[in-house]
Amino acid sequence: MFDIGGGELFGLGVVAVLLFGPDRLPHMAREAASFLRKVREFTSQTTAQIKDETGSDLIRDIGEVTRQIRSPRRAIVDSLLNPGDSPNSTAPVSKPHFDPETP
């Protein structure tokens, strides 16, 4: 996700020590860890609540839509190969009627 090497990490540590001081830095690190823990707990509780209220099918459907958004080419190919499987189709797919006499 982040491409941070050892030199960049060391540089960030030195800057943090210079900005906040060695006495405040451990307290700030604890607060940051606590904040991240709360965010993770909130997201897991929210996901569990969505699963409980809507069923696990919604989560699976959201995952499928997300995959299709990430790969629009694949979604187009799937919809062209399997037109009856799309959620918006209610009637069987038929060829349009072409009448050469109508303008």
Report helix, strand or coil for 50. helix
pLDDT in tens, 2-36: 677 888 888 988 898 888 888 888 898 899 899 99
Determine the Cα–Cα distance for residues 9 and 56; give it in Å rounded to an integer: 40
Torsional sign, CA 94, 95, 100, 103: positive
User: How do residues 32-86 score in pLDDT, each as one tens digit?
Assistant: 899 999 999 999 998 888 778 876 666 677 777 777 677 777 767 777 887 765 5
Output the pLDDT for position 41: 94
- Give yes or no for residue 95 having a pLDDT over 60: no
Amino acid 74: pLDDT:
73
Whole-angstrom Cα distance, residue 65 to residue 62?
Answer: 5
